[in-house]
């Protein structure tokens, strides 16, 4: 069996960290603890934006700061999504990688190394399941998760702390009044930090299967 390089391990781990916030955000519509909080309006704004979206594409700049490294790994790339459940992210060289989550199958391709890995997530974490919740208005906040929101200058900022479970300490999502994502910051409990900035965010452009190829 081929041993995995350090870069390979970092990409695999990074893939799980990047996908998790999207699954977490979509799952925030499932809760049992009612509350009156500005975060509800922010979550509902985000939900409405995705509910009216059949697909989207955006250019990104990702900054990855590992706790054991002083130098940031800066990459450019693209993210794409298409209902009912395909998410794709490609980072361009020198840190080239391609990631696709379709249903509950996560595929990661490292073109330079010629390596492709596939991970099967639990069925309850499939994209179809999470996006089914987007048809429901957000009326309650999730129990055990700290969600805070700020609305300023036409932009929403959501700050979410998932709690003790998992490796994410907190995440921050900035988006506009139509749910268009501008920035995602993820702080991990091990000290790693990932910041992704989105630009040229376009909805309902008619993405096809060829836009999600990892091979």
- Read off the CATH number of the domain in which 161 is found: 2.50.20.10
Residue 12 DSSP SS3: helix
Does residue 211 lie within any of the structural domains? no
Number of domains in the chain: 1
Neighbouring residues of 145: CB distance < 8 A, sequence distance ≥ 6: 28, 160, 161, 162, 163
Cβ distance 134 to 50 under 8 Å? Answer: yes
Does residue 215 lie within any of the structural domains? no
pLDDT tops 60 at residue 168: yes
Cβ distance 116 to 214 under 8 Å? Answer: yes
pLDDT tops 50 at residue 9: no
Does residue 214 lie within any of the structural domains? no
Q: What is the DSSP letter of 54?
A: S
Give the model confidence (pLDDT) of 186-201 as tens digits.
888 888 898 999 999 9
- Please give the helix or strand (H or E) that residue 157 lies within, else none: strand 155-161
Residue span of the structural domain in which 52 resides? 6-206
Give the model confidence (pLDDT) of 41-75 as tens digits.
888 888 788 778 899 999 999 998 888 877 888 99
Does residue 1 lie within any of the structural domains? no
pLDDT tops 50 at residue 29: no
Does residue 213 lie within any of the structural domains? no
Give the model confidence (pLDDT) of 63-109 as tens digits.
988 888 778 889 999 999 998 788 899 999 988 999 998 888 889 89
Q: What is the DSSP string of 34-50?
A: ----HHHHHHHHHHHHH
């Amino acid at each position: 069996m081929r041993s995995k390089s350090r870069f390979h391990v970092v990409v695999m781990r990074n893939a799980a960290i990047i996908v998790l916030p999207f699954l977490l955000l979509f799952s925030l519509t499932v809760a049992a603890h009612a509350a009156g909080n500005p975060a509800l309006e922010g979550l509902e704004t985000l939900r409405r934006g995705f509910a009216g979206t059949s697909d989207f594409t955006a250019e990104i700049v990702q900054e990855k700061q590992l706790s054991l490294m002083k130098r940031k790994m800066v990459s450019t790339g693209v993210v794409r999504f298409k209902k009912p459940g395909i998410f794709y992210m490609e980072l361009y060289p020198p840190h080239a990688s391609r990631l696709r989550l379709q249903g509950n199958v996560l595929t990661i391709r490292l073109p330079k190394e010629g390596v492709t890995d596939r991970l099967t997530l639990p069925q309850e974490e499939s994209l179809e399941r999470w996006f089914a919740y987007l048809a429901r208005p957000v009326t309650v906040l999730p129990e055990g998760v700290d969600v805070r929101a700020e609305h300023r200058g036409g932009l929403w900022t959501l700050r979410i702390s998932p709690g003790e479970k998992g490796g994410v300490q907190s995440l921050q999502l900035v988006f506009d009044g139509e749910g268009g994502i501008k920035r995602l910051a993820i702080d991990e409990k091990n000290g790693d930090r990932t910041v992704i900035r989105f630009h040229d965010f376009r909805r309902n452009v008619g993405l096809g299967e060829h836009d999600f190829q990892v091979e």
